[in-house]
Chain A
Amino acid sequence: MVDENKRNILKIFIGSSVALSIGALTTPLIGSVINTRDLALKGGYSSVKVVLCEDVNNCPEEYSVPISDLREGPKFVLLKKGNMAIPAVFGLVKATDGKEYAAAYNIVCTHFGCPVNPTGGQYLSGFACPCHGSFFTICPNPNGCGGAPFLEAYVTAGPAPRPLRPVKVVVKGDRVYAVEAYI
């Protein structure tokens, strides 16, 4: 004999997991077809903000890179604060106004999270993701590039949905300090 009660519990359990999974799968599909901007939750950005130092004057050396090092090419630094860690690449960006600007980015790709490779040789011009081919270009124009503001690593190719998470840098003396980052 089949216990009908047990069957029903199993049906509810499996039915709800089916419904959940179908919902999870179709939500982004529907979201990509219709405009979900108005439906999107207003509650903050999903990245976590990490303040590395409040003031650049007492910022520890481990959050900084000498500018002379950056002149040779982009530098990788794992910024550690407590149990948090941000993989950052520091570099100099050659802007269209002829000046060099210091910048740093969290190199976790915004698509699936592979660490991205800096491109541009001696200067930092963008990032390429080795996994799924996303390409991020650092806006070199002080007036902005289309929708992207100056120095933003915006997506120019591939499946990444949004720009690379930036690291706020401050130049003090002959060093570039990271003062604020996003995970």
Chain B
Amino acid sequence: MKALIRLWELILERFHLKEFLEHPVPRYSNINPLYWLGDVAAMSFFILAITGFALALLYTPGLSVTETPPDPLLGDAGTYSATQSYASVYRIAYLTPLGFILRQVHLWSAYMMVFATLAHFFAKFILGSYKRRGGGALWLLGVILGFLTINQAVLGYILPLHLDGALAIQIGLNIFRYFDYFGIPVSNLIVAVLGSTFVTDQVIKTVFVLHILIVPALILIFLGLKINGILYGGVSPPPIKDGELRSKAVEEKEPFYPHRFALTVGQLLLQLSVILLLAALTPLPLLEPWVPGQSIPPGVRPPWPVMWFYTYVKMINPFISVGLPFFLVLFALVVPLLDRKGGVSIEERWVWVAIAIVYIAIIGYGTVLGFLVDIPKQITPFTRISVPPNYAVPYVGTPQPVGP
């Protein structure tokens, strides 16, 4: 036992972890929930990484279609014809010991990461944390990380190649072809790199590598930069108007270990239990399989993070509503340059807090409305994009009658 303690102390000393554990942290951010959302997102990322390691070992990407013989327990209901990707996810979810819980934890922490990222964004917007020295750079890193998080979510959604995932990759492969209209040869690039604008083995392999290797590596780099910036630059100052009180709160510090450390561990355990509860109470089923060439039932079911966007696209003229997320992201990028005067308290920044609330209301209203009502698609004069005639391929074949 003594040797172990000695080893632990040696590790702490040799890797300079003692400095990390003893770095001063302010007390005001201990209890305020606005300061913990970024932590939730980061912890979700590490939970996703650990469950992802196991899932990556069990999952096989591929499009070769297999017919599963009827299950002795389920009878004909157990028969399904699906791609290799789907069959391997099916095997993980329903036929592997602990596979169900593994997949549920991965899914729910992914949803939690997306939600926490959004909530963290609004929390820091309300606190005006880009106003402190170095805050602008951290804000920019945060926007990049948010973009990468959404990318990861979409790529992970595609991998099982269920019906919705297959439609998602189809749309992802073809939507950027509209750049051809501006003279940017996107479709040539896609065909040169992936060989097809239809999901093939090559495409699903690329998605797999992006999901498990490239995007997580980028997230890790940017997250490391951001954590380093916060470690040495401190968290955002408290939203107090009185300068004296504020500097007093900033200066009142304690070492990270043991109090904040215990809070962080508690937060991780709380988060894990929330994820396990969600997995137990509302397990997310694997959607129906898809095989290439199969007829697809009409109607798109967007996942909840993009439901608000889908609602507005159907409600408002597409040329306005399609630009909505671009506008919101641009606004997020520009806001540190616009909001520069005055302090960080709510009284001084009430306009920006109001904007944040409107922003949250737009997303929340769209999400709720999308789940409550099925809005018919609107047809406007702009719905159909006018295309120059030389962009369309005329029918190429020589019509040949068949039979008598």
* Beta-carbon contact of B333 and A17 below 8 Å: yes
Q: How many A residues have CB within 8 A of the partner chain?
A: 78
Residues of B with C-beta under 8 A to A85 = 195-196, 198, 200
Q: How far is the CB of B69 from chain A (nearest CB, A)?
A: 23
**Is B399 an interface position by the 8 A CB rule?**
yes
Cα(A142)–Cα(B73), bound, Å = 55
**Is B347 an interface position by the 8 A CB rule?**
no
* Beta-carbon contact of B395 and A14 below 8 Å: no
Residues of A with C-beta under 8 A to B281 = none
* Beta-carbon contact of A182 and B393 below 8 Å: yes
Assuming the contacts A117-B296, A162-B391, asked whether A112 and B330 have C-beta atoms less than 8 A apart, the reply is: no
**Is B269 an interface position by the 8 A CB rule?**
no
Chain B interface SS verdict (over half): loop
* Beta-carbon contact of A84 and B191 below 8 Å: yes
Contact residues, B130-156 vs A (CB, 8 A): 136, 140
Chain A interface SS verdict (over half): mixed
Q: How far is the CB of B337 from chain A (nearest CB, A)?
A: 7
Residues of A with C-beta under 8 A to B182 = 24, 27
**Is B382 an interface position by the 8 A CB rule?**
yes
- The stretch of B97-105, B110-118, B248-256, B297-305 that contacts the partner chain: B297-305
Name the contact of A48 in the complex, choosing from B173, B187, B330, B386 (C-beta under 8 A): B187
Cα(A182)–Cα(B293), bound, Å = 17
Cα(A92)–Cα(B389), bound, Å = 27
Assuming the contacts A17-B333, A29-B382, A76-B292, asked whether A112 and B174 have C-beta atoms less than 8 A apart, the reply is: yes
Q: How far is the CB of A7 from chain B (nearest CB, A)?
A: 8
Q: 10 A-B residue contacts at CB 8 Å?
A: A31-B181, A78-B292, A84-B196, A113-B197, A114-B167, A115-B296, A117-B296, A130-B296, A149-B394, A167-B396
Across the A-B interface, give the 5 residue pairs with the lowest CB-CB distance, nearest first: A113-B174, A76-B293, A46-B180, A83-B195, A40-B388
A interface with B by C-beta (< 8 Å): 10-11, 14, 17-18, 21, 24-25, 27-29, 31-32, 35-37, 40-43, 45-48, 67, 70, 76-78, 82-87, 89, 92, 95, 99-103, 108-109, 112-115, 117-118, 128, 130-133, 139, 142, 148-152, 159, 161-163, 165-171, 176, 180, 182-183
